[in-house]
Amino acid sequence: MKNKIISILILSAILIIYLIFHFYSLKPVERKILKVVEANEFYVDFNQNNKIDADELVKLKGIIAFSPIKNPYNVSISNSIGISIEEFMKIGYLSRKWAKDNFEGKNIKISYDNIEYSKYKPYRFIEGIIDNYNTASKLLDNGFALLYPKNTNYDYFQHFNYKRIKNNIFLVSDLNYLLLNSYSGVLHRLDCEYAKLISYGEIVLDTDKYLKYPKCKICFNLREKTDFFGNLVPKSKHNYPKSIYKKFNNIEVYFINPLEYKHPNNKTEIISRIVREINSASDTIDIALYGFNFQNEIFNALKNARSRGVKIRVILDYSKKMSEIYPQTMEFGKEFNAKFDKTETIMHNKFFIFDNKKVLTGSANISSSGTGGYNSNIVFIINSAEISSFYLNEFNQMFSGKFQKHKAKIDKSVIVSDNSQISVYFSPKDDVFNNAILPAVRSAKSEIFISAFFLTHKPLVEEIINAKKRGVNVLVLIDAIGAFQFKNIIFELRNNKIPVIVENWGGKNHEKTIMIDSNILISGSSNFSKSGFDYNDENTLVIKNSELASFWRDFYLYLFNHIDFKYLLKIPRAESFESVNSCYDGVDNNFDGKIDAEDDGCKK
């Protein structure tokens, strides 16, 4: 009996000692963070000797922090969340700096401390609190980390901090970073083709600290060229985050901003304005369109106008690929008994005539990407019976079946009204290049700014180069499709020291505009091509109005400066991760029959 009591006492003592030990082992330990290696990785002074010891390196449990390091693992993480490795590293640089500022030198209350084995080596993982905040949660909340994929709340947290991650990308976008090759110790620009081939490297800021490192001769020489071109580009005076409407007496203009939407939007101001004009028409609406697609508000407004007695006449093009480009065109044409141009060349106009008093024209097609606000475009509304009569005469010829070279030339005077001189040219009979564009370009004294979908007309290209040689500052903003298909012309202009920037938007640069000396604006439906000038049915406005030209100039410079200047040297693919939103917008941006992830440029 006595032995049993002794045994029970001994076992009880052991249990008490175990419970005491276990209690203290569960009690949070507070220790100082000596050095931050990454946002989620640091040295903790466990032995309290105030020195960094190798066995004191820890990682935060349950999260993956953004890192300025480039390696295959981080590349795979960046791909999995749909951002580039460059963006991943830039956020990593920011997160490491933030952790140094907010963690280093502070005490952390450690509630979990355990050795766990990864695929490559064992890590000491901890959970802890700094300044009454869970350390891992703080990084997640600031968009500096991702929840480890095996966590049950993974999808929730991915959604939760996505906006903060995007905001961090914006915060670091203007900083000048370099990539330090871990093996060779050579510095590269991030946009350097050789930098993309590096498997192991670290992103650093371009500061004096790194002058001791050798620099990649190729990519730094490219930057010198970029800087040369960039120095020729003035800055805009104002910001234009959205599309803009401006009135210049009897001329109203919609400047459609391709930066406003991430995909086509059928609730734009220009759609609402067209619907208002249709609803206000009392007698006639004459329409000449290249195509029509998914603009149901306009479609329905026209049907309503017809039902109340408005006479509606429609002319459409009948291209072989129209069913692919604008599949609703045939339905629209059938509804209004349209006349179709079935010739080999195209009827490329985009104009409305309301009650023979007002004309709406410009570069925007009546489509989800045109008037839907995704592409860069310009639309004019001119309140003038005289100008309406010019367009009506042109319309009547086409409606009678006379297209292109079969039309008669229309006698038109220059309309002078309210500080504006407006001239109207109809291709091909008016020979708009020789009679309007060529004299205007040759008259330029200081600036020629061009916004173009296509720029392939060789005589125009030659005159632009001649203008540059005589001291005129020439800028060209061109669409990625037009640049890709006609690289030789882009290279020719750049070789003559003309800054040609290629857009990398999701939508297209569909404008066809030339501004000269902040005084003349030339714009319309015609691309700057031989087909546009010499074969197609087109209309072009030449407007002398310094206020209008100056406003367009500032808007143009805003768009120009919002394109990465590396595209002063390169040509991005129209549907690829280079072209913002183009892999997620549901649009066949490069007209190859493949949309978003189906396109080769959008495959990870």
Reported as a single tens digit per residue, the pLDDT across 491-501 is 999 999 999 99
Say yes or no to pLDDT of 534 above 60: yes
C-alpha–C-alpha distance, residues 550 and 519, integer Å: 7
List the CATH code of the domain at 28-172.
Answer: 2.40.50.90
DSSP one-letter code for 374: -
Least confident stretch, 13-17, 122-126, 537-541, 586-590: 13-17
Boundaries of every domain in the chain:
28-172, 177-230, 244-568
C-alpha–C-alpha distance, residues 88 and 68, integer Å: 7
Say yes or no to pLDDT of 473 above 50: yes
Least confident stretch, 134-148, 357-371, 373-387: 134-148
- Model confidence at 322, pLDDT cuts 50, 70, 90, reads confident
Tokens of 165: 């991650």
Q: Which string of b and e fits 455-487 if b means at least 16 CB within 10 Å?
A: bbbeebbebbbebbeeebbbbbbbbbbbbbebe
- Model confidence at 24, pLDDT cuts 50, 70, 90, reads very low
Q: How many Cα neighbours within 13 Å face the side chain of 551? A: 16
Looking at every residue in the chain, the average pLDDT score rounds to 89
Least confident stretch, 186-190, 460-464, 526-530, 594-598: 186-190
Tokens of 450: 């061009």
pLDDT score at 154: 44
C-alpha–C-alpha distance, residues 280 and 278, integer Å: 5
Length of the chain: 604
* pLDDT tens digits, one per residue of 402-428: 999 999 999 998 999 888 999 999 999
pLDDT score at 593: 87
Tokens of 82: 């749909």
Say yes or no to pLDDT of 46 above 50: yes
Residue reference for tokens 């569960």: 26
Pick 173 or 109 by higher pLDDT.
109
C-alpha–C-alpha distance, residues 505 and 587, integer Å: 12
Say yes or no to pLDDT of 158 above 60: no
- Model confidence at 208, pLDDT cuts 50, 70, 90, reads low
Mean pLDDT throughout 279-295?
A: 97
CB atoms within 10 A of CB 345: 18
In contact, 351 and 359? CB cutoff 8 Å: yes
C-alpha–C-alpha distance, residues 12 and 18, integer Å: 10
Residue reference for tokens 């066809």: 512
Catalogue the E-assigned strands of 118-176: 122-130, 133-134, 145-147
In contact, 254 and 244? CB cutoff 8 Å: yes
pLDDT score at 159: 46
Give the contacts of 582 (CB within 8 A, at least 6 positions apart): 505, 506, 574, 575, 576, 589, 596, 601, 602
Give the contacts of 286 (CB within 8 A, at least 6 positions apart): 312, 313, 352, 353, 391, 392, 395, 399
- Model confidence at 399, pLDDT cuts 50, 70, 90, reads very high
CB atoms within 10 A of CB 338: 21
Question: What is the CA 101 to chain-centroid distance, rounded?
Answer: 33
- Model confidence at 324, pLDDT cuts 50, 70, 90, reads confident
pLDDT score at 323: 78
* pLDDT tens digits, one per residue of 351-371: 999 999 999 999 999 999 999
Nearest alpha carbon to residue 509 among 350, 375, 366, 364: 375
- Model confidence at 149, pLDDT cuts 50, 70, 90, reads low
| Mode of pairing for the β-strands spanning 145-147 and 133-134 | unpaired
Q: Is the pTM of this model over 0.75?
A: no
pLDDT score at 385: 97
Say yes or no to pLDDT of 100 above 50: yes
User: What phi and psi values does residue 536 have, to the nearest 5 degrees?
Assistant: -75, 160
In contact, 384 and 250? CB cutoff 8 Å: yes
DSSP one-letter code for 347: B
C-alpha–C-alpha distance, residues 595 and 257, integer Å: 23
pLDDT score at 8: 65
C-alpha–C-alpha distance, residues 594 and 574, integer Å: 12
Q: Which CATH superfamily is domain 244-568 in?
A: Endonuclease Chain A (3.30.870.10)
pLDDT score at 116: 78
Enumerate the β-bridge partners of residue 285.
Answer: 312, 354
Say yes or no to pLDDT of 195 above 50: yes
pLDDT score at 171: 81
pLDDT score at 438: 98
Mark out the alpha helices in 400-545 (DSSP H runs). Answer: 432, 438-443, 458-469, 480-485, 487-495, 530-534
C-alpha–C-alpha distance, residues 419 and 401, integer Å: 37
Give the contacts of 589 (CB within 8 A, at least 6 positions apart): 481, 506, 507, 508, 574, 575, 579, 582, 599
In contact, 157 and 148? CB cutoff 8 Å: no
C-alpha–C-alpha distance, residues 474 and 461, integer Å: 11
In contact, 451 and 510? CB cutoff 8 Å: no
C-alpha–C-alpha distance, residues 270 and 154, integer Å: 42
Share of the chain above pLDDT 90, in %: 65
Nearest alpha carbon to residue 507 among 380, 599, 371: 371
Say yes or no to pLDDT of 66 above 80: yes
pLDDT score at 42: 92
DSSP one-letter code for 268: -
Amino acid identity for residue 475 in this structure: L
- Model confidence at 223, pLDDT cuts 50, 70, 90, reads low
Say yes or no to pLDDT of 124 above 90: no
